[in-house]
Chain A
Amino acid sequence: MAHSDDSPAVQITSLNKWYGAFHVLQEVNLTIPSGSRVVICGPSGSGKSTLIRCLNGLEAYQQGTVTLGTVPLGDNARETALARRQTGMVFQSFNLFPHLTVLSNCTLALRRVLSMPRKEAESLARHFLEKVRIPEQADKYPAQLSGGQQQRVAIARALCMNPRLMLFDEPTSALDPEMVKEVLDVMTGLAHEGMTMICVTHEMGFAREVADQVVFMDQGSIVEQASPMTFFTTPSHPRAQSFLNTLLH
C-alpha cells in the first residue's frame, strides 16, 4: 500500500461515468500531489460529489482509471478495500452510527478492520476526539450533539484509520452558519499538518485560505483548474466567472 513520495496521491485519467443515458462525468483528468489541498466547486449537478465518491469506490465508473498512490482502483473487492484503507471520507450528512456512542463510532473500524485491542482503540479514538476538540463528548450518542460536533466526530472517526487522503463531500452544507466555522477550523488545522485533502465545498473563504488548487466543474467536466489566487481574481472560463459572480452577489 505504501507509495513513494514522488507519486501523486491521486491520479485520475479519462474518467467517464454514466447514470443510464446521463453522462455525469466526462473525460475527467486530475492529478493531486501528496500533501496538496484541492477544493472542488461548481454548480449543483456538475458531478463534484460523484467524482470524489469514485475515489473510494462508493460510485462505480464505466471508463478511465483512478490510482491512489500506486494502487489502481478496480472492480474487485480487494482493490476497493485497499483504496478505502487509504482514504477517509466525511459526508455532508455526517453518517454517524446513531446506535453507537461517539467513542464506539470511532473505534468500530479500528476494532473490526485493524483488529486493534479495545483499550488501544479507545485511546487512539480519544486522541483524535481531543484533536477535533470534543473529548468530553466521547460517551454521548450522536443525537445528543450539535451538527458541528457531529461533523467533528465524523472527521475524528475517519482520522482514526490513519488515512493518506481525506475526502470531504460538502462537509458544512448541512450545518447552521455558526457551526460552519468550528468544522472549517478543524479542517484548516488538518491542512496545515500536511494532510492530503480533496474537498467539495461552496465555502469560498476556505478555498481561498487553505486550498492550493481549485477545481471548477460544470456539466460533468473540469472546466477550470487553477490556484486560488488565479481562480478568484482572473477566472478564465465564462462558466466559472458567472459562478463566482453569483456567489459574490
Chain B
Amino acid sequence: MTILEIWLGILQGFRVTALVTLYGLVFAIPFGLIFGVAQYLTTGPARFVVTSIIEFWRSSAVIILLFVFYYALPLAGLALSAMTVSAMVLGLNIGGYASQAVRAGLQALDRGQKEAGHALGLSRSTILLRIELPQALVAMSPTFINQLIQLVKATSLVSLVTLTDMTFRAKEISQIEYDPVPIYSSLLLAYFIVCYPVALFGRWVERRINPAREARCAV
C-alpha cells in the first residue's frame, strides 16, 4: 500500500473527526459560558451545585464516560447514537475546562471595571454582558483555542464507540496491512495538519477581536 493510499484511507475518517468536533463545540461553548459565569456569580449552595456539575465533567476520564454513556444509558432506556454520545461527552469535558477559563477571565478583571459600571447606573446583567464578558473572553481566547485543539485530538477516542474517524480508519488499514509505522506516522501528521490551521486561526481571531490591544501596540 502506498503512502498516498494510506493517506486517502485515513482521509475517509476526516468527516467524522470534523463532525464530532463541530457537534462537540455545540455542547462545549454554551456549557463553558453558562457554567463559568454561574460559578463566578453564585455563592453558597447554588455555587456548590454548579461546581459539582463542572467537576463531574472535568474530572472524569473521557474514555470511561464514553463507554458509560454509550453502553449503560440504553440499559436505562435511553439509547443515544454514537455521534451524540461522542459529541456530548467530549464537548462537556472540554466545556468543563472552558468554564474555568471563563471564570478565571472574569475574576482577573480589575474590580474597578464593575464599579465603574455600577457608578454609571448599569444593571448587573449589562455589566456582565457589555463590560466583563467581552474583556474576559478576549483575554482567555488563547486558552479557548488550546481547548479547541484538545477537542480535535480527543476525537481520536470516538473510534472506541464505533465511529469511523481518522483513528478508526488508521486502525483498520493497519490491521489489513500489518505495517503500523507508516500508517500511524501518517495519522500523526494528519492530526497535525488539522490542528495547526486551528492554531493559526486562533491567532488571527485574537488579532481581530482585540482592537484595544492592537491600538495599544500601535502607540
Contact = CB atoms under 8 A, between A and B. Distances in A.
Please indicate whether A and B come from the same complex rather than being unrelated chains: yes
Given A89-B116, A95-B115, A99-B211, 11 more contacts: A88-B119, A91-B112, A96-B116, A99-B134, A99-B138, A108-B130, A112-B126, A112-B130, A142-B212, A143-B216, A144-B218
A141 B131 CA distance: 14
Interface of A: 56-58, 81, 84-85, 87-89, 91, 93, 95-99, 108-109, 112-113, 140-144, 157-158, 161
B63 to A, nearest CB: 40
B216 A89 contact: no
- Interface size bracket, B side: 20 to 34
Contacts of B130: 108, 112
A144 B113 contact: no
B121 A84 contact: yes
Contact of A84 (B119, B135, B219): B119
B216 A84 contact: no
Contact of A91 (B116, B122, B134, B219): B116
A56 B119 CA distance: 7
Contacts, number: 75
21 contacts: A56-B118, A56-B119, A57-B118, A58-B115, A84-B118, A84-B121, A89-B116, A91-B112, A91-B115, A95-B112, A97-B135, A99-B135, A99-B138, A108-B131, A112-B122, A112-B123, A141-B215, A143-B216, A144-B219, A158-B119, A158-B120
A108 B216 contact: no
B110 interface: yes
B172 to A, nearest CB: 49
A108 B120 contact: yes
Given A97-B116, A99-B134, A113 B215 contact: no
A143 B212 contact: yes
Contacts of A161: 120-121
A81 B121 contact: yes
Contacts of A81: 121
B219 A109 contact: no
Contacts of A158: 119-120
A89 B122 contact: no
Interface centre among A88, A112, A113, by most chain B C-beta atoms within 10 angstroms, is A112
Interface string B119-153: 11111001000110011001000000000000000
A58 to B, nearest CB: 6
A113 B122 contact: yes
